A = this chain, B = another copy of it.
Amino acid sequence: MYSNARAQKPRLTGELSSASGRLSVSHFNYGRGAEIFGEAEPAEYIYQVVEGAVRTYKLLPDGRRQIGAFHFPGDIFGLENGETHRFTAEAIVASTVRLVQRKSLDEVAQNDPAISRTILGMTTGNLAHVESHMLLLGRKTSLERVASFLLEMHLRSTSAGVLNLPMTRRDIADYLGLTFETVSRAMSELYRKDILKFEDTTRRHIVVVLDVQALAELADKRSQAS
């Protein structure tokens, strides 16, 4: 259920590399908090995180925010079929992003069924992730949500055990459908239960997972028949 996102979202310099010569590629740097593209803007490019971290989200008119996904180096985002973006994308920290012109990708895909299949695969990967997230948002408790989040980050992480969480508590809250206070309380509870510890002193952006098993049990709780 918490499948590795890196496996779902092939690097452009990976399964799409066969077409790289024919693609119009550029790079751009974004400062912390900078908008990469806005919801309903024309989708001229697709994007890949080279360095840093990106959040994609939707807003309600009164400002309530739902983050759909976090994107880390290697992840592709902003992949659209229609004319416009369905999300806003922002850099969480200073980030480098690779941009591929959609038009050039479409042209290449037209003649290369393998590219088409890769794009479909990435879209399906997004779909699978979002569908699991619906279950979390609709039916999990706050502690289960935070445990699920940490487990997801853990499974996506390259460095075993140590998680660098570049996003704020509010970002996490808006991803999990909670308030940042509730996220904070849940993290403290996991700390008290010796399931995780904080590597940095107080800002708590670096988390060490001590007990993955316990985290997984909390994330996907079954009826406690014991």
- Give the B-binding residues of A (Cβ under 8 A): 58, 60-66, 68, 80-82, 86-87, 110, 113, 116-117, 119-121, 123-124, 126-128, 130-135, 137-140, 174, 176-177, 220-223
- The contact sample of 30 A-B pairs, CB cut-off 8 A, is A58-B131, A58-B132, A58-B135, A60-B135, A60-B220, A60-B221, A60-B222, A61-B220, A62-B222, A62-B223, A80-B124, A81-B120, A81-B121, A81-B124, A86-B128, A110-B113, A113-B113, A113-B116, A116-B117, A116-B120, A120-B120, A120-B123, A127-B127, A130-B130, A130-B131, A133-B134, A137-B177, A138-B176, A138-B177, A139-B177
> B68, B82, B177: which contacts A131 (Cβ < 8 A)?
B68
Nearest-neighbor residue (CB-CB) of A65 within chain B: B139
**A66 CB contacts on chain B under 8 angstroms:** 134-135, 138-139
What 16 new A-B contacts, CB under 8 Å, besides A62-B223, A123-B127?
Answer: A58-B131, A58-B134, A61-B220, A63-B223, A66-B138, A66-B139, A81-B120, A110-B113, A116-B116, A130-B130, A130-B134, A133-B134, A137-B137, A137-B177, A138-B177, A139-B177
State whether A127 touches B126 (Cβ < 8 A).
yes
Distance between Cα atoms of A2 and B66 in the complex (Å): 17
State whether A139 touches B64 (Cβ < 8 A).
yes
**A174 CB contacts on chain B under 8 angstroms:** 138
Distance between Cα atoms of A87 and B117 in the complex (Å): 22
> B116, B120, B137, B223: which contacts A138 (Cβ < 8 A)?
B137
**A58 CB contacts on chain B under 8 angstroms:** 131-132, 134-135
Nearest-neighbor residue (CB-CB) of A124 within chain B: B81
Distance between Cα atoms of A78 and B128 in the complex (Å): 12
State whether B123 touches A124 (Cβ < 8 A).
yes
**A119 CB contacts on chain B under 8 angstroms:** 120
> B61, B113, B134, B221: which contacts A61 (Cβ < 8 A)?
B221
**A87 CB contacts on chain B under 8 angstroms:** 131
> B116, B117, B121, B134: which contacts A137 (Cβ < 8 A)?
B134
